[in-house]
Structures are given as structure tokens and as C-alpha cells.
Amino acid sequence: MNLAVDIGNTHVKMGLFVKKELKDVFLKDTDIDHILDAYKIKNAIISKTGSNDLIAYKLKEKKVNTILLSHDLKLPIKILYKTPETLGADRIAGSVAAHALFPENNILKIDFGTCITYDYTDSKGHYIGGAISPGLMMRIKALHNYTQNLPLVDPMQFGSVDLTGTDTTTSILSGVINGIKEEVLGIIKEYNLRFGTLKVIATGGDMGFFVTLLKSEIFASPYLVLEGLNRILNFNI
């Protein structure tokens, strides 16, 4: 059994795999004790963007064969990024999974996480690059932190967002959420113009806010990074 660990800036996700099949997902780093007690984990892989070291320590303690994802590993795609050493491990893993889903297509992967990342992989499996943009809560917090009077808004309290805000709170939500929506649609359009037909895949913790708002055909995959990590792990053991 494999364990794939995605340590992000805000959240931790762990996926249990039997060969290529995802069996279960855990969303707290403290679940690692239960996982190691309940399952026979032979191999593990960690994608680390945040600073959490608990899981790596526990895996080492149990002597689980563990790989830390980096661009130096043998990968199912070819990285053509000019500075691969600066490329986030989660971006690599998500792009590997996206290419596996649609191996003969140009792919734009959009990860709605702490940051919104755009990653383009061509139909030959060449990872070219992409873009990094502030995420949902980063934009909301910036409005609060860099002004005197704007409140800190919780988007989870609102079921929908109108184009025209009727008070300060809904104006903030309209500006941020509709701003992200139009940004994403514009970037998808530009990639289509430049590279032709492509598949668009969405993932990340804030994916649910935007997938239904976007009129483009988007394939939603909440555990894309975990799927990619497991593929990379199987590729290296």
C-alpha cells in the first residue's frame, strides 16, 4: 500500500493507494498515527510546500520507504521549466496526473489553492510552465489588511455572489470572486488562442467556488495532486 502526502501552505492531504487506486483520503496531519497503525504502508511520497515536518518524522520512525518529490526524480512528464528547482512539487504532481488523464491533449491545469496556479503541459508530455496568482482568501485578507475600514469577509457564509454588491461585504465578495472568474476565463481563452484546443482541469481547496461559475468545459478533480504523487511514486519504486 502506498501513501501520498500533499503538504500545502494551508492544508494537508494524505491519500491511501493500492497500486493506482485511491482507497481513502485523510485531511489532518495527526491522522498519520492512525494510518500507520491501521495499514501496512510500504512506500510513501511527500509533496511539501508548507513547513509541516510531522508526517515525514512519523514515516521515518516507522521505517517506511519515503520519497520527497522534487524535479530531480524520474518523472512521467518532461519538465521544460527554465528554473525547475523553483517549481512547486504540487504543481509537478498535479501536472503528472493531468497528463495521465488526457495523455494526447494539451492541458491547462488550474489549482484553486492558497495561490491560484496555472500549469500548461502539451500533448507530448512536456511541462512548459504557467502562472501564479493570489488565491481567494489571499485577496480577501489583502483587502482587510491593507485598508482601514474594509472587513474580513468569510465567503463560506454566502451561497451565491451577485455581480452588483449591495453593501460592503457583498461588494468585496463580488469583486474578489467575479474578478477570479474573469481572470480564469481570460487565461483559458488566451491559452486556446495560442495553443489550440486543450483540456482544462481544476483542482484545489477553493475549486468549488468557481467550477460552477465558469462556463467553459472544465474537468474537476479534487484529488489530482494525490493521484499524481502516487503515479510518481510507482514510477520510482
Check 6, 29, 90, 111 and give the catalytic one: 90
Strands 115-121 and 106-112: antiparallel
pLDDT the model gives residue 50: 72
pLDDT the model gives residue 209: 84
pLDDT the model gives residue 200: 96
pLDDT the model gives residue 53: 86
Name the residue among 222, 188, 225, 187 with its Cα closest to residue 208: 222
Q: Where are the alpha helices (DSSP H) in the chain?
A: 32-38, 54-61, 89-101, 136-145, 168-173, 179-195, 207-211, 224-236
pLDDT the model gives residue 105: 97
pLDDT along the chain (237 residues), means of 10: 92 94 94 95 92 89 95 96 95 97 97 96 98 97 98 90 95 96 95 96 91 83 97 96
**Whole-structure pTM value:** 0.93
Name the residue among 200, 221, 224 with its Cα closest to residue 97: 224
pLDDT the model gives residue 208: 85
Name the residue among 68, 77, 70 with its Cα closest to residue 109: 77
For this structure, is 90 an active site residue? yes
pLDDT the model gives residue 213: 81
Name the residue among 27, 61, 63 with its Cα closest to residue 42: 63
- The topology under which CATH files domain 2-134+177-236 is Nucleotidyltransferase; domain 5 (3.30.420)
pLDDT the model gives residue 158: 84
pLDDT the model gives residue 201: 96
| Backbone φ and ψ of 129, nearest 5° | 150, -155
